Amino acid sequence: MNILIIEDEIPAREKLRRLAEEYGVAKHGAEMRIVGEADSVRDAARLIPETSPNLILMDIQLSDGVAFEIFERCSVDAPVIFTTAFDEYLTEAFAHNGIDYLLKPIQREKFYKALEKYERLQSHFKQQEDIQQKERIQAVVQQIYRAVSLPKSGTYKERIVVQKGREYISLNVDDIAYCYTENRIVSVIARHGERYFTDKHVADLETELDPKMFFRLNRKYLSHIEAVHSFKPELKGKIIVELLPKPDEIVLVSQERAALFRAWMEQ
């Protein structure tokens, strides 16, 4: 763990360093790495990009201003444990990467609990990152598998049986705009806007229809390429897809499938 200490009082700074080193030895058998120390907003804004800390121990009242000014001067990605003699900044602290708020004089037990909280959070987000990475790999493998193992173009289904009311009809797949599932019911939306139903799952349709023409946008939606009117980037690498006919909800492509979607659109 790389820690940056931002504190303008030398005794307080030394205490934070000592407590962090003692915690590392007690919990992990090795001292925590202190990558830098700053006593001002100016020095902190310079050190944060240079040191890329995993965790910041930050006093609020610094020698040249209030610590929240640091966030206006540089990008702060690391979580922050605030250490201060004032309790009126609590709300603002948690709006600025705060994961804990310790009042001076800092007590060893509370300091240790704050670091334990940080490590629990890190473990949680690491697990989420591992899951997302696994999903990305699975998506690529699935795409490769479909490319090499599914029938060649011309042997995919050209028509599927769908239900309209009490009747069943044979629908040409080129007339399909998209399919989606809701409450375990799969709807098939035709280009002209007509809605049909099918007993098949979206996953089954995905394997039966030509992947050059149909793409699994997400767990709910399988779309024909000509039904994609437009798309635009969204936060965290996702993509918003505008389909025609327009569905009643926003359709998103996940970050994990975004690259595959773009490649499909550019084929």
163 and 117 part of one domain: no
111 and 178 part of one domain: no
Residue with tokens 């504190």: 7
Taking each helix axis from N to C end, the angle separating 10-28 and 108-149, rounded to the nearest 10 degrees, works out to 60
Q: Which of 126, 151, 179 is the last residue of a domain?
A: 126
Asked whether residue 229 is assigned to any structural domain, the reply reads yes
Q: pLDDT tier at 81 (50, 70, 90 boundaries)? A: very high
Residue 48 has pLDDT above 90, yes or no: yes
Task: Please spell the DSSP secondary structure of 34-98, one letter per residue.
Answer: EEEEESSHHHHHHHHHHH--SEEEE-SEETTEEGGGHHHHS---S-EEEEES-STTHHHHHTTTE
194 and 81 part of one domain: no
Nearest to 202 by CA among 224, 225, 185: 185
The per-residue pLDDT for 249 is 93
Average pLDDT over residues 162-176: 93
Asked whether residue 152 is assigned to any structural domain, the reply reads no
Residues linked to residue 164 through DSSP beta bridges, in sequence order? 167
Share of the chain above pLDDT 70, in %: 88
Asked whether residue 133 is assigned to any structural domain, the reply reads no
Q: pLDDT tier at 18 (50, 70, 90 boundaries)? A: very high
Residues linked to residue 61 through DSSP beta bridges, in sequence order? 66
Residue with tokens 């049986």: 161
CATH number at residue 103: 3.40.50.2300
Note down the domain range covering 199.
159-265
Query: What is the domain count for the chain?
Result: 2
Mean pLDDT for the chain overall: 88
Instruction: Compare 17 and 148 and report the one with higher pLDDT.
Output: 17
The per-residue pLDDT for 29 is 77
Alpha carbons 196 and 186: distance in angstroms, whole number:
9
Question: How do residues 51-74 score in pLDDT, each as one tens digit?
Answer: 989 999 999 999 999 999 999 999
DSSP state of 200: S
Q: Which of 128-142, 151-165, 222-236, 251-265 has the lowest mean pLDDT?
A: 128-142
CATH number at residue 199: 2.40.50.1020
Question: How do residues 229-240 score in pLDDT, each as one tens digit?
Answer: 999 998 888 999
Alpha carbon separation from 149 to 145, 159, 207, 257, 260 (Å, rounded): 6, 21, 11, 20, 18
68 and 166 part of one domain: no
Helix (H, G, I), strand (E, B) or coil at 188: strand
Asked whether residue 164 is assigned to any structural domain, the reply reads yes
The per-residue pLDDT for 140 is 59
43 and 122 part of one domain: yes
Question: Under the phi-then-psi rule, with left for phi > 0, alpha for psi from -120 to 50, and beta for the rest, what region is 97?
Answer: left
The per-residue pLDDT for 216 is 94
118 and 185 part of one domain: no
The per-residue pLDDT for 125 is 65
The per-residue pLDDT for 246 is 94
The answer to whether the CB of 8 falls within 8 A of the CB of 63 is yes
Taking each helix axis from N to C end, the angle separating 255-265 and 108-149, rounded to the nearest 10 degrees, works out to 30
Residue 147 has pLDDT above 60, yes or no: no
Asked whether residue 69 is assigned to any structural domain, the reply reads yes
